[in-house]
Amino acid sequence: MKLAWKSQTFFIYRSLIRLELSRCTVYTPANTKSRVEKLTEENQYKSLSDVVTPLEHRPYNDQLKTKEFLMRRALKKIYNIIKDHRKGSTAQLDEIANQSNGQICPFLEVKPSPVINGYRNKNSVNFGKDVNGNEKTVGYSIGRHKDQNMVFAKPYLLPNISDQHKNIIKSVQEYIGQSCFHADSSIHGIWRSAVIRSTKHGEIMLWFVLNPYSLSQEELEHAKSELKDYYSTGPGRLVGVTSLYLQVCKGFIPRLGNTETIHLSGTEYITEELNGKKFIIAPESFFQVNTPAAEVLFKTIGELLVEKSTSNLLDVGCGTGTIGILLSDYVSHVYGIDVMPSAIECAKENAKLNDTKNIEFICGMAHRTLKQMIEDNHSGLRLDNVGAILNPGRVGLNKKFIYALRSCPEVKHIIYVSCKPAGNALRNIVDLLVPEDEVIQGKCFRAEKALAVDMFPHTRHCELVISLVR
């Protein structure tokens, strides 16, 4: 099956790349230097788990209570910002806050993850020196390059990584150890990192990131063939990789124009199943890292849509179409909007794979696309109750789109999903709730209810879901 993304380079915004790097790089607080100086062979795991999985030693019910406290605190913070900093509180919002213990709306619950351990279907590892100075160590880093105190700790005891992925990480360690090329995640490394993805049916995608800055073409071809042979016919075949890629990145950060993603062996993609629907996962595809909990999340969102009788749904930043396709059973029509042509093409493939007829994907900037859709009365969009699902991740949405939503009276219902309600994501929510002024036009929304789904057991994070109406 030929996919449009095959010919595309690894198109990712710099902010998203930095986010991805942060998943495999542990930046400790201000006392980083003292932590690293005290790091030993015996305590390296504790130092790593204190940052990556800080709640792992607590009973799971206690973890959920901690996350409920954090989500309630975020809802209170939003109200305080509106009231004290934006001077935008209304009598209605004040009344809701008084009835909800200072929150912008009632908080219902934190829904638990069906799987607590080994739930991550994607893991990234970097390469560097361990606590004893041994090079070519595969793991997560503690410390920072700029402080010259970065060391790497092996992640084999972390509870959120499955045994399958740990075995693959060990195979990566063995391969990097025997390779003739230098492995270091800094700008001086040839081998830079590796990423593992897997599905519930046992498919495994593995790709290595390589910086060829000091390699001849002959040496690059040797690296490609060496990697392919190791996982096809060599010792690496035992871990069962079904899709192998090499990402050649001519720079410290992958970005437009400096990256080529090369398929080496196996299938070009893996396929995951979510709530009875199938999705193609390419190397650059976004997909929730906890599949069982994602099923809970999207069923919950679907129920919220049914409650508000939403007819048309805007899936903003739709990526490869996962959310829109999953929610297509709950509404009359879905419009997926994304700026990435490769993502839109992959979304169309996913719609065909699931025989989803009531969905349309549009490539363009979200705020401009929404404005054009309304002006053109796109597919009768004006006639029905319109909702929007916003799931922008940690980076939040462009404020221009938030303003466009506010000025679009057809949009009656918004479901905002955030794994980290802080920074830009928090500002998005504030901008949707504050009364109309000279900058923000259009009737404001009201937070009706909020809940959370625990997508990340053993960590302090979960997905906050806020239902906004007007």
31 marked among binding-site residues: no
Parallel, antiparallel or unpaired: strands 25-26 and 137-142:
parallel
Phi, psi of 337 (to 5 degrees): -120, 130
462 a catalytic residue: no
DSSP E strands, 112-190: 122-128, 137-142, 151-153
φ/ψ bin of 275: left (φ > 0), alpha (ψ from -120 to 50), beta (otherwise): left
315 marked among binding-site residues: no
**351 touches 361 (CB < 8 A):** yes
**120 touches 289 (CB < 8 A):** yes
Phi, psi of 353 (to 5 degrees): -60, -35
Q: What is the DSSP string of 59-112?
A: -HHHHHHHHHHHHHHHHHHHHHIIIIIS----HHHHHHHHHTTTSSS-EEEEEP
Catalytic member of 408, 419, 444, 462: 419
Would you state the structure tokens that stand for residue 30, as one six-digit string? 């201000």
Parallel, antiparallel or unpaired: strands 333-338 and 312-316:
parallel
339: helix, strand or coil: coil
384 marked among binding-site residues: no
∠ CA 435-439-440 to the nearest 5 degrees? Answer: 40
295: helix, strand or coil: helix
Report the distance separating Cα 97 and Cα 194, nearest Å: 47
Q: Residue 335: how many CA atoms within 13 Å on its side-chain side?
A: 23
The annotation places the binding site for S-adenosyl-L-methionine at 288, 338, 391
The annotation places the binding site at 288, 338, 391
**Would you name the residues annotated as active-site residues?**
419
